Amino acid sequence: MRELISTDDLHEGICQMASQITSCYGEQPLTVIGVLTGCVVALADLIRQLHMPLRICFVEASSYRGATERGPLQLQAESLLDVVGRDVLLVDDIFDTGHTLVEVMQLVETLKPNSVRSAVLLRKLGRQEVELQPDFVGFDIPDEFVVGYGLDYQDLYRNLPFVAALDPDDLQADPRQESRSEI
């Protein structure tokens, strides 16, 4: 694995994205909906930079289930707050093909918010299969499988304080077996 975005660069990118969001919303109340689980680290850092009144909830979206190929998207939205007539910001970790963001936005729009915008930590270049583009983007990255700062491979590496690209050999190995043998 090799570091793609350092801890310092992540902090700077989150601060810049927060500044853009603040310019858009000002002091208006905002409902932030995080797309679990990958958004948790970026969301925590982002909301500490936002100073308008915030409400926070989550939707769980999963399509990878331990593989590197996308499968059917499963959404669990039981914990969503009432967003009727409110401004909503969806926060996700990565914009890859775009299907997750499109489906989550469609779900939220059925709840009749005043507005829905999206913020993503990473936008993977060359992978989009949808017309939609995120409103706020922390970083554009090449088409590589990335981990760290909330992103995982087989439920590992989310805790890395930086974003790293996995080498093809890393994707062939079972990281759970490697971590056990190192203990």
- The first and second tokens of residue 89, run together, are 């910001």
Query: Has 96 been annotated as catalytic?
Result: yes
Q: What is the biggest distance separating any 2 CA atoms in the chain, rounded to whole angstroms?
A: 53
Name the CA dihedral angle for 6, 8, 14, 15, rounded to a multiple of 10 degrees.
-160
CA atoms within 13 A on the CB side of 149: 29
Beta bridge pairs of residue 64: none
Write down the catalytic residue from 87, 92, 93, 96. Answer: 96
Number of H helices, E strands in the chain: 5, 9
Q: Phi/psi of residue 55, each to 5°?
A: -120, 145
> Mind telling me the catalytic residues?
96
